[in-house]
Amino acid sequence: MVNTLVELKSIRKTFGNVVAVDSVNLSIARGEFVVLLGPSGSGKTTILSMLGGFVTPSSGEVLIEGADVTQVPPALRPTVTVFQDYALFPHMSVASNVSFGLSMRKVPKDVRGRRTEQALRLVGLEGLGDRAIDQLSGGQRQRVALARAIAVEPSVLLLDEPLGALDLSLRRQMQEELVRIQKQLGTTFVHVTHDQDEAMSIADTIVVLNHGKIEDNGPPDRIYLKPASLFTATFMGESNILEGTIAATHNGHMQVSTKLGDIEVEGERPAGDTVRLSIRPEQIKLGTTEDNDSIALGDVEITEAVFQGAHRRCRGLAGTNRDTELLLRIPVENSIQPGDTVEINVQPNDIVLLQD
Amino acid sequence: MAEITRPPIRGGFDFSRWAIVPAITITVCFFIVPLVIMLLVSFWQRIGGKLEATWTLANYEKFFSRSYLVDALFNSIEVALVATIVSVLLAYPLAHILAYRVPQRWQRFALILAVLPFWTSYVVRSYSWLLVLSDNGIINVALQSIGIIDQPLSMSYNRGATVLGFVHFFTMLLTLTIYANLVQISPSYRRAAADLGASNLQVFLRITLPLSVPGIAVGAFIAFVITIGDFITPQILGGNTELLIPQAIMLQVARAANFPMASVMSMTLMAVVTITYLAFAKYLKMDRG
Amino acid sequence: MSWLRQVPSACYMTLAFVFIYLPVVVLVLFSFQDGLLPVPPFQGPSLQWYERMFDNRRLMEALLNSIVVATLSSAVATLLGFLAAHTLARKHIRFAGGARYLLMAPITVSYLIIGMGLLVTFNLLGVSRSLFVVGIGHVIINLPLCFAIIFSQMGDHQKNIERTAHDLGATDLQTLVLITAPIMRPTLFAAFCIAATLSWDEFIIAFLLSRFDVTLPVTIFEMLRAGLTPEVNAAGTVVFAISITMVSIAILLSTRRKNNNG
């Protein structure tokens, strides 16, 4: 609790009739690299703007370092925002841009110079202080924007889809850079993106957003392997969703009756409830149950098999009535083809009971 | 870390919100208020060399009962209308040629060249036309020496000269505004029309012309308003053949210092200008570009 | 045979250009007249009228007055127009539409009426006519123009730059002076040049509101009333040359800006 740096309490934002953010509660710890992930319209940028002070919440509170900053303007908050278009001052040199925040704080000239050089060194732009902005490449501009924000040592660095304008290889490179810089500084980063691969690469914690609400919140591996909601399961990679009814329940174990047979899952829901189960395509294994743990799912008739390099992406119809479409990822060694019928099974641990 | 301090807590003076105040204040004080005062003064009278706040319609009665004054008003409107229309008719073909016939590379240069004389002094330009049109001016001397005429043509010190002076000025202005409008029209409209079977004339009448109306309207409005309120051109080129409203106003001010009368005439002129503005209002909207 | 289609256009364009340049040619030509009258036949060339003009104390003073009035009133109009454009472009204030109409209103009214309004008002208040009052009149006629030019260039693309400046601790005023104004320098200069050109050539307001110290157009008018001599031609030619130079600078600056933003 002492480690909590940022808290959003019941934050809500409406623009006219549109609810952009719907009662969000979020805690961010010191030193965390948090990624706000979601499609456009999910409210992620609005939340970032409310953290930065550019948008005032319709209701709720924003607390940073324990203080209520809900009504405080950006200049007075311990946050700095890096915008998607970098917003570099075109008439100033790289060094002047980076030291701008310092001169606003009336930091003496020699200290300014030192801190500017430090910031530039950190982002890998040492010695480029005298360059004009229009002489820089896209990647370099991105780093200047970052250095400018770092120079004033904010408690929280807010990044609004900063890598969106870069091409793929540059983006991957910058992702690694961002993580390195963040770890070196120890500053809390809040990063907005719609790209789930990017999120998984850089985040300590991913907050999945949809329609202004938080769908899931946790480390990348947990979110991927054990998604909490239907949206999370289908937004973070592909997933097979099985609907079923709880036939019986006993001591924290439930027997769920699905079109692929009875499946035993952990959980405390009353019998008769409908639930949804999520299984990732790569977790469906071929063959009959090899050990006592794995759960048989019957067999599947393959309708499509597309070579994707490391695996084959296959579609098939499963269930006794062949009415359940499944997505599978079969290792390349297995020369599977449309028309084949194979047995499938899955580890019980890989079956996720969705919370919604 | 100790070296970086938090920015000092500043007072809440929202400079951005108040920055517009000086401009608004000046406009109100030196534009709106004077107009109101002038309106008030038009109801006063000049008695015995002093301004008396008599609150009467006498001046307005005097204005509308003096035929030469009412004539001045209508003459002004006529001259302004004729000058504006002729300018549009002369400028449009020129703008059209510049936009569609002159090769792209030369267009800007040709446009600047066509508009350059705009920047001779307004007074001097009217005077120059006097030199051109007068009895011993260039045109008469040239025509006489060739033998086309025996006596010089009387082309100066009349309404025609005044109109010509205006037309010269506004042809350039209107060429500019119409050209700017024409080059903004996407060529794909004309191409599509031609593709669907329209002849050159039809393309012009049904596509180009309607789409160029805003450019014409803006230029025509400016031309009309400037013309009707202009003192110099009729004074230099018009001679004593007829009186226009601006000259009438100047007479009241310079000779008689009769501000109430001058105010009456100014307000009348202002009424005409305002009506014109309302007629053109939809073409004069200003949006952020 | 396409060249044949060009003939009517070429003819019209030639005639139009002859019409447009006729008075200018006459003006410049007869400024070099070696004789008393600025009419044919042309005797010359001679610089005597230019010499006469530069010796004309009153004319030279009027020239200086015009420059001062134009520079100062345009600077004020540009500054006020910039501040007004900033507020309307960046802030949500009440009556924003009304404010815009108010600021643009003077453009729709004749200069004569604006001048008359000021004359009557100042006369009533006992303020005597002077170049200062002329300057006020020129600010009024140029403010709408400067505002319109600057406002049209304050696009949204600059919003994030100003937001970042605020984020890093700059006040509204600091952002305006250190960030917004420098970035908009070409636009501000263009507005200033256009205003200066209009003020410099403006007659009726200067005529109504000045007394002994006058501006150049008023002096030229006085000279005309005294008699038609080539000295007026010389003065007109010089004015033409100066005006063209100022406009060329403004155009060059605006082209360079476009190239930089490309």
C170 in A contact zone (CB under 8 Å): yes
Rounded to a whole number of angstroms, the distance from the CA of A135 to the nearest CA of chain B is 28
Give the whole-number percent of chain A exceeding pLDDT 70. 99
Mutate to test the interface with C, among B88, B122, B128 (most CBs of C within 10 A): B128
User: Is B37 in contact with C124 (CB distance < 8 Å)?
Assistant: yes
3-state helix, strand, coil in chain C (%, to 5): 80, 0, 20
Residue of A nearest to C161 (CA): A87
* Strand pairing report for A156-160 and A79-82: parallel
Q: From CA C104, how far away is CA C12, in angstroms rounded?
A: 37
- Count how many residues are written for chain A: 356
| Predicted complex: ipTM over 0.90 | no
B9 in A contact zone (CB under 8 Å): yes
Q: What is the mean pLDDT of chain C?
A: 87
Condensed to tens digits (0 to 9), the pLDDT of residues C153-202 reads 888 778 899 999 999 999 888 999 999 999 998 889 889 988 998 898 89
Is the pLDDT assigned to residue B286 strictly greater than 80? no
Quote the crossing angle between the two packed helices C185-201 and C57-90, to the nearest 10°: 140
User: Is A157 in contact with A82 (CB distance < 8 Å)?
Assistant: yes
Closest CA to A87 of C82, C175, B17, C92: C175
Number of structural domains found in chain C:
1
**Strand partners for C156:** none
Mean pLDDT of A220-248: 91
Give the structural domain span for C177: 68-228
The whole-number pLDDT of residue C256 equals 67
The token pair at C58 is: 């009153």
Would you state the CATH architecture of domain B82-242? Orthogonal Bundle (1.10)
The whole-number pLDDT of residue C139 equals 97
Rounded to a whole number of angstroms, the distance from the CA of C186 to the nearest CA of chain A is 12
The whole-number pLDDT of residue A327 equals 93
User: At residue B286, what is the residue type?
Assistant: M
CATH assignment at residue C139: 1.10.3720.10
User: Is B170 in contact with B219 (CB distance < 8 Å)?
Assistant: yes
What is the SS3 assignment for C222? helix
Confidence of residue B285 (pLDDT cuts 50, 70, 90): low
CB atoms within 10 A of CB A129: 19
Confidence of residue A290 (pLDDT cuts 50, 70, 90): low
| CB atoms C163 and A87 under 8 Å | yes
Mean pLDDT of C135-148: 95
Condensed to tens digits (0 to 9), the pLDDT of residues B96-127 reads 989 888 888 888 888 888 888 887 888 888 88
Q: What is the mean pLDDT of chain A?
A: 90
Confidence of residue C248 (pLDDT cuts 50, 70, 90): confident
Is the residue at C199 inside a domain? Answer: yes
Rounded to a whole number of angstroms, the distance from the CA of B10 to the nearest CA of chain A is 9
Confidence of residue C258 (pLDDT cuts 50, 70, 90): low
B173 in C contact zone (CB under 8 Å): no
Q: From CA B162, how far away is CA B126, in angstroms rounded?
A: 9
The whole-number pLDDT of residue A180 equals 94
The token pair at A4 is: 């909590």
| CB atoms A105 and B9 under 8 Å | no
CA angle B153, B156, B158 (to 5 degrees): 110
Condensed to tens digits (0 to 9), the pLDDT of residues B175-192 reads 988 998 888 888 888 888
The whole-number pLDDT of residue A249 equals 85
Residue whose pair of structure tokens reads 């540059």 in the numeric block: A170
Closest CA to A312 of A341, A342, A282, A287: A282
Tell me the CATH number for domain A4-234: 3.40.50.300
Is the residue at C1 inside a domain? Answer: no
> Which residues in chain A have their CB less than 8 angstroms from residue B10's CB?
75-76
Mutate to test the interface with A, among B4, B9, B14 (most CBs of A within 10 A): B4
Condensed to tens digits (0 to 9), the pLDDT of residues B9-56 reads 455 567 888 899 999 999 999 999 999 999 999 888 888 777 778 888
Residue of B nearest to A102 (CA): B4
| CB atoms C170 and A104 under 8 Å | yes
- Count how many residues are written for chain B: 289
* Strand pairing report for A352-353 and A274-279: antiparallel
Confidence of residue C61 (pLDDT cuts 50, 70, 90): very high
Q: From CA A89, how far away is CA C67, in angstroms rounded?
A: 35
Residue A286: phi, psi to the nearest 5? -85, 150
Residue of A nearest to C174 (CA): A104
B5 in A contact zone (CB under 8 Å): yes
Is the pLDDT assigned to residue B239 strictly greater than 60? yes
Range scoring the smallest mean pLDDT among A150-154, A269-273, B19-23? A269-273
The token pair at B18 is: 């108040």
Condensed to tens digits (0 to 9), the pLDDT of residues B258-284 reads 888 899 999 999 999 999 888 887 776
Q: From CA C67, how far away is CA C196, in angstroms rounded?
A: 8
Question: Which candidate from B112, B138, B270 shows the least CB-CB separation from C26?
Answer: B138
Q: From CA C191, how far away is CA C153, in angstroms rounded?
A: 11
Residue B38: phi, psi to the nearest 5? -60, -40
The token pair at C28 is: 């410049």
Confidence of residue B204 (pLDDT cuts 50, 70, 90): confident
What is the SS3 assignment for C21? helix
What's the burial of A184, exposed, middle or buried (CB within 10 Å: 0-12/13-18/19+)? exposed
The whole-number pLDDT of residue B162 equals 92
CA distances from A56 to A14, A50, A157, B250, C255 (A): 10, 6, 18, 59, 41
Residue of B nearest to C241 (CA): B120
In this predicted model, which residue has the larger pLDDT, B54 or B2? B54
Confidence of residue A147 (pLDDT cuts 50, 70, 90): very high
Is the pLDDT assigned to residue C261 strictly greater than 50? no
Confidence of residue B238 (pLDDT cuts 50, 70, 90): confident
Is the pLDDT assigned to residue C80 strictly greater than 50? yes
Collect all residues with Cβ–Cβ distance below 8 Å to C19 and sequence separation of at least 6: B90, B168, B171
Is the pLDDT assigned to residue A148 strictly greater than 90? yes
The whole-number pLDDT of residue B166 equals 93
B6 in A contact zone (CB under 8 Å): yes
Is the pLDDT assigned to residue B8 strictly greater than 50? no
Question: Which candidate from B34, B101, B121 shows the least CB-CB separation from C120?
Answer: B34
Q: What is the mean pLDDT of chain B?
A: 85
User: At residue B12, what is the residue type?
Assistant: G
Closest CA to A95 of A122, A124, A126, A139: A126
Residue A191: phi, psi to the nearest 5? -125, 130
The whole-number pLDDT of residue A239 equals 92
Question: Which candidate from B32, B93, B129 shows the least CB-CB separation from C23?
Answer: B129
> Which residues in chain A have their CB less than 8 angstroms from residue B3's CB?
107, 111, 115
**Chains contacting chain B through 3 or more C-beta pairs under 8 A:** A, C
User: Is A305 in contact with A337 (CB distance < 8 Å)?
Assistant: yes
**What DSSP designation does B31 have?**
I
Is the residue at C131 inside a domain? Answer: yes
Give the A:C interface size as CB pairs under 8 Å.
53
Is the pLDDT assigned to residue C146 strictly greater than 90? yes
Condensed to tens digits (0 to 9), the pLDDT of residues A187-216 reads 999 999 999 999 999 999 999 999 999 999
User: At residue B30, what is the residue type?
Assistant: F
**Strand partners for A256:** A246, A263
Give the A:B interface size as CB pairs under 8 Å.
22
B114 in C contact zone (CB under 8 Å): yes
Residue whose pair of structure tokens reads 């005639």 in the numeric block: C15
What's the burial of C252, exposed, middle or buried (CB within 10 Å: 0-12/13-18/19+)? exposed
Mean pLDDT of C85-90: 89
Residue of B nearest to A111 (CA): B3
The whole-number pLDDT of residue B255 equals 78
**Strand partners for A285:** A345
Find out if CATH 2.30.30.830 is the number for domain A240-353.
Answer: no
What is the SS3 assignment for B178? helix
Residue whose pair of structure tokens reads 């060339």 in the numeric block: C45
The whole-number pLDDT of residue A152 equals 92
Mean pLDDT of B194-219: 85
Cα atoms found within 13 Å of the Cα of residue B188, Cβ hemisphere only: 1
**What DSSP designation does B247 have?**
H
Condensed to tens digits (0 to 9), the pLDDT of residues A58-77 reads 999 999 998 999 998 888 89
B138 in C contact zone (CB under 8 Å): yes
Closest CA to B157 of B243, B241, B75: B241
Q: Which of residues 161-180 of A touch C (CB under 8 A)?
A: none
Counts for chain A of helices (H) and strands (E), in that order:
9, 20
| CB atoms B3 and A152 under 8 Å | no
Is the pLDDT assigned to residue B240 strictly greater than 70? yes
